[in-house]
Amino acid sequence: MVKFYPLLHSFVFWLLFFPMVLLAQNNRNPFQQVIDFANLNTAQLKTEFPALGKIISRNDYTIDDINRWIATSTKEWAGFTQKPEVSKLNIAWATLGIQPPAEKPQFTHSFYLWYKSSGITEEKRKQLFPHFPLPNLNNDLEKEEQVYESKVATWQRLYPEEYERFLNTPELTALNPYYTGYYKLPYIPRFIGAEIGFEKPQKQNTGYEVMDEYNYQLKWRNWLFVFEPEKFNKQYGKDYKFPDTFDAKAYREGTIKILTDKKNGVSTNQH
């Protein structure tokens, strides 16, 4: 008959001892467990992150110590979490009692991100598209993003030549997978046809400053183009090109005739 007493004794031993091992592991500092699990070199950590090194040099450091370190050494924390050995673990830090700093809101407008990612210099921006709007990142970013959308749309329409240069700048086209060659904008300047009278236009105040300014600029450019073409050319001429089929003289004469007929009470249709 085979005796199972030694085997039974061993089984009972592990049955009693194994929970104690788990308990001991669970009582260890969770941050230290991250270091161990990521197989990080403690000596190297102390060199890379001196403030953290002072903490983990103690055997009795706590999660509160780690949270204080995070709050006062945000750059070290960012560097630690960006280490490949740590980042690949995709840790939910809150489950360990660790409190990462709140992420700063980011300005995420795609048009601006495209511009920033291109690495184009400020000097070149001023040379090629000086009126390209830059967001005010000191404002509430969510509100600024909504305003910025209107600013970009206004710029695209008031300065189509700049917009065309923007779309064809090498630094930007390098990030555009759909770019196949020089892109020519298909429309004439948007101010053509804007409603004007004989008097200089005045800016309205509807409470929406960006659109009020946009509508005013359309009318103002059209008014100058019709009534003071030399002044228009001096002030805005470099910003606009017209299709070969566009007859500026006929447009000016036709606009003045329509306004004259309207003033005299003559019914006329503008085509």
Check residue 246 and give its pLDDT: 82
Tell me the torsion sign for CA atoms 111, 117, 122, 126: negative
Residue-wise pLDDT tens digits, 176-204: 888 889 988 777 888 988 889 999 999 99
Token duo for residue 96: 């360990």
pLDDT(3) > 70: no
Does residue 27 share a domain with residue 143? no
Residue 4 falls inside a structural domain: no
Average pLDDT of the residues in 112-139: 92
Q: In sequence order, what are the residues at sequence separation of 6 or more whose Cβ sits closer than 8 angstroms to the Cβ of residue 205?
A: 212
Does residue 166 share a domain with residue 87? no
88 vs 256: CA distance, rounded Å = 69
Does residue 126 share a domain with residue 176? yes
Does residue 116 share a domain with residue 42? no
78 vs 61: CA distance, rounded Å = 20
Check residue 137 and give its pLDDT: 85
Quote the number of domains for the chain. Answer: 2
Question: DSSP state, 146?
Answer: H
Does residue 83 share a domain with residue 130? no
Determine the residue type at 235: Q
Residue 192: CB atoms within 10 A of its CB come to 18
pLDDT(229) > 60: yes
Average pLDDT of the residues in 31-52: 92
Does residue 220 share a domain with residue 182? yes
pLDDT higher at 230 or 14: 230
Phi, psi at residue 128, to the nearest 5°?
Answer: -95, -45
Q: In sequence order, what are the residues at sequence separation of 6 or more whose Cβ sits closer than 8 angstroms to the Cβ of residue 142?
A: 105
Q: Which domain holds residue 225?
A: 110-263
Check residue 64 and give its pLDDT: 93
The percentage of residues in the chain with a pLDDT greater than 70, rounded to a whole number, is 87
Residue-wise pLDDT tens digits, 6-20: 444 444 444 444 333
Residue 66: CB atoms within 10 A of its CB come to 24
Picking from 96, 129, 154, the residue at the C-terminal end of a domain is 96
Check residue 34 and give its pLDDT: 92
Does residue 254 share a domain with residue 121? yes
Lowest mean pLDDT among 137-141, 153-157, 241-245, 256-260: 241-245
Does residue 169 share a domain with residue 84? no
The Cα-based distances of 80 to 34, 40, 207, 243 in angstroms read 11, 10, 48, 58
pLDDT(207) > 80: yes
